[in-house]
Amino acid sequence: MAISVRKLTINIGAEVRGVDLRNPSEGLVKEIEDLLHEHLVLFFHDQDLTPAQHVALGRCFGNLHLHSVAATHPDHPEIILLDNDEKRPPSIDAWHTDVTMDAEPPMGSILRAVEVPGVGGDTIWASMYAAYEALPKAMQAMLGELVAVHHYPDSFRTSVTRQQDGYAKLERYDKDHQPVEHPMVRTHPVTGRKALFVNSTFTKSIKGVGRKESRAILDMLEHHVATRPEFQVRFKWERHSVAFWDNRCTQHYAVADYFPQVRRMQRVTIAGDRPY
């Protein structure tokens, strides 16, 4: 079957059909990479991957990132388990770019739906290219000179303390995860395009800017991203759907409108490089 690509919005998102992700050829991997750089997030249907195949797929695009807090698959530590039900309510319904608390945040993620609720549970992605380009030129110039401080959110501390020997782990975690600095506007290493690089989950302050002023600028940018549908694409999950997004130029939001239904997702994350 020939590959078909259906663009979903002007700024972000495409649905790709006619591919089998279980054992992709080098040519298909290159084609997917090119499509990712063009569309920022790709959606695939009917991809019944085993955990091992999911891990192998991620490795086609680079080394895999190991999350220091999230629950992982017992046989495949590269896979993050995102399981929600009546005992585990959803808690990631906030705009974010994954793990920008790291000095080298992930390049991208491949998320697959294992079990989906009858209604709800969509995910929304936003283009940080579009968010940057929609700002006034003077604002772009100002942000281009600024550096933001990123650190892990309070929810990470809660996750750690709930684990066995949680407080001892938290002490080690605090030691190993110091705040990091990233440019507020980063340049994509492949496309060369500029993207806004702050988010409501991990960005804590702006270096060299007063606390109140820093908060005001970050709040404005967060509102700018969250309230502009033209930057966004929304995906309705089906069982065995897969989404692959570029973490360097997007944010995403997991809509928490399905509780207490079951939603089970698995994710592999591809290592990235230092933003510039």
76-127 pLDDT, tens per residue?
999 999 999 999 999 889 999 999 999 999 999 999 999 999 999 999 999 9
pLDDT tens column, 124-149? 999 999 999 999 999 999 999 999 99
Report the percentage of the chain scoring pLDDT > 90.
86
| Banded pLDDT at 153 (limits 50, 70, 90) | confident
Annotated catalytic residue, options 98, 102, 150, 246:
98
Q: Going from the N-terminus, what domains does the chain have, and what CATH number goes with each?
A: 4-270 (3.60.130.10)
Q: Is 37 a catalytic residue?
A: no
Residue 45, pLDDT above cutoff 80: yes
Element (H, E) at 175: helix 166-176
**Residue 275 near residue 105 (C-beta atoms within 8 A):** yes
Q: Is 98 a catalytic residue?
A: yes
Return d(Cα 180, Cα 187) in angstroms, integer. 18
Q: Is 267 a catalytic residue?
A: yes
pLDDT tens column, 28-41? 999 999 999 999 99
Annotated catalytic residue, options 150, 186, 252, 263:
252
Token pair listed for 20? 């089998």
Amino acid at 259: F
Return d(Cα 40, Cα 69) in angstroms, integer. 26
Residue 1, pLDDT above cutoff 70: no
| Coil/strand/helix, residue 269 | strand
Residue 57, pLDDT above cutoff 70: yes
Annotated catalytic residue, options 65, 96, 150, 186:
96
Return d(Cα 157, Cα 182) in angstroms, integer. 22
Q: Is 96 a catalytic residue?
A: yes
Q: Which residues of 232-247 are buried (b: 16+ CB within 10 A; e: fewer)?
A: bbebebeeebbbbbbb
